[in-house]
């Protein structure tokens, strides 16, 4: 057995698949297989957002526990390969990220790129696809897919005012009630497709939700609000209460093809 065979690219959190809900965390982990060492980077770089989504693992675990819903979390760092990018995306394996040069990613041979896809990226997406399919089979209906991410409080010297962002492409079935319910919290600043646009062709939501016509939403939480594990758990519990109600809405479990703002599916 090689050292690489010991590395688990993803983790499944079991839950009641009959609830019709799937939780996904593309950037929950910052681990690397032993053979990649530190990718030529100091350890401090793996404490930054370039390596993973800070706070997301704790939020996802709390959310899955509260909802008794299954979740799939990627373990590998986005610096190895980005789980939330399509295979043809130029940012799939970054050589430069927010001022940091990732030495081990340049130059990148076609063979090494394929190796990372085959060993880490594809197994993760196979696991997500299998989970989504198993939930659909358990309920006999379309599942609601929720993806959890986090974003930095500042970017390029500019403060980001949002506490939470709700990202989407064309299907807003889960988006509109989520934005409305989050907006009921005093002083909560909610971004509608902020700080990023949710239309990203080939990403996880495109691949597992949009092309299938499944209701979905990507939630981005500002990292300073969930960097502490207790705060992250509190956010998970708070989101669970909201998503519990949304998941009960009949429209969330119907297949509807909305297409994508990125072009034909």
pLDDT higher than threshold 90 for residue 4: no
Q: Are 12 and 127 a contacting pair, CB within 8 Å?
A: yes
The whole-angstrom separation of Cα 197 and Cα 203 is: 12
Boundaries of every domain in the chain: 8-253
d(CA 260, CA 170): 6
The fold for domain 8-253 equals: Aminopeptidase (3.40.630)
| Contact present, 251 and 173 (Cβ < 8 Å) | yes
State the alpha helices, DSSP H only, in 68-169.
110-116, 122-139
What is the DSSP secondary structure assignment for residue 227, as one 8-state letter?
Answer: S
Q: In terms of Cα–Cα distance, which of 252, 242, 240, 244 is closest to 141?
A: 252
Count Cα neighbours of 129 within 13 Å in the Cβ-side half-sphere.
11
Q: Which comes out higher in pLDDT, residue 177 or 5?
A: 177
**Banded pLDDT at 17 (limits 50, 70, 90):** very high
Is this model's pTM higher than 0.75 or not? yes
Structure tokens at 89: 């995306």
**Cα separation of 146 and 253, whole Å?**
13
Identify the DSSP state of 40. T
Alpha helices in the chain, H assignment, sequence order: 56-67, 110-116, 122-139, 175-182, 204-205, 229-247
The structure tokens 């709700």 sit at 166
- Tokens (6 digits) for 212: 């299938």
pLDDT at residue number 6: 78
For residue range 233-253, list pLDDT tens digits in order: 999 999 999 999 999 999 999
Report helix, strand or coil for 21.
strand
Among 74, 120, 118, 113, which residue's Cα sits nearest to residue 93? 113
> What is residue 82's predicted lDDT score, i.e. its pLDDT?
98
Over residues 151-183, the pLDDT tens digits come to: 999 998 999 999 999 999 999 999 999 999 999
Contact assessment for residue 147 and residue 25, using Cβ atoms and an 8 Å cutoff = yes
**Mean pLDDT value across residues 103-122:** 97
SS3 23: strand
d(CA 78, CA 45): 12
Half-sphere exposure of residue 213: CA atoms within 13 angstroms, side-chain side: 8
Selection from 165, 174, 180 nearest residue 225 by Cα: 165
Q: Quick check: helix, strand or coil at residue 53?
A: coil
Query: pLDDT per residue over 18-58, tens digit each?
Result: 999 999 999 999 999 999 999 999 999 999 999 999 999 99
């Amino acid at each position: 057995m090689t050292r690489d065979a010991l590395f688990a690219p993803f983790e499944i959190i079991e839950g009641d698949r009959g609830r019709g809900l799937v939780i996904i965390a593309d950037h929950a982990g910052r681990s690397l297989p032993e053979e990649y060492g530190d990718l030529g980077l100091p350890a401090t770089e793996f404490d930054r957002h370039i390596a993973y989504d800070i706070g997301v693992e704790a939020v996802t675990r709390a959310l899955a526990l509260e909802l008794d819903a299954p979740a799939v979390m990627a373990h590998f760092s986005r610096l190895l390969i980005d789980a939330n990018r399509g295979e043809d995306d130029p940012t799939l394996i970054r050589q430069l990220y927010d001022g940091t040069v990732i030495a081990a990613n340049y130059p990148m041979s076609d063979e090494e790129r394929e190796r990372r896809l085959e060993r880490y990226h594809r197994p993760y997406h196979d696991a997500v696809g299998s989970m989504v399919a198993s939930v659909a089979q358990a309920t006999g209906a379309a599942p609601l897919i929720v993806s959890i991410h986090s974003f930095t409080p500042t970017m390029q010297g500019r403060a980001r005012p949002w506490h939470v962002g709700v990202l989407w492409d064309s299907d807003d079935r889960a988006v509109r009630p989520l934005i409305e319910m989050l907006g009921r919290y005093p002083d909560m600043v909610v971004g509608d497709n902020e700080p990023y646009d949710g239309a990203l062709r080939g990403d996880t939501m495109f691949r597992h939700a949009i092309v299938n016509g499944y209701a979905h939403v990507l939630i981005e939480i500002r990292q300073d609000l969930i960097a502490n594990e207790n705060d992250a758990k509190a956010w998970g519990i708070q989101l669970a209460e909201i998503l519990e109600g949304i998941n009960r809405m009949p429209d969330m479990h119907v297949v509807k093809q909305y297409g994508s703002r990125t072009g034909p599916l």
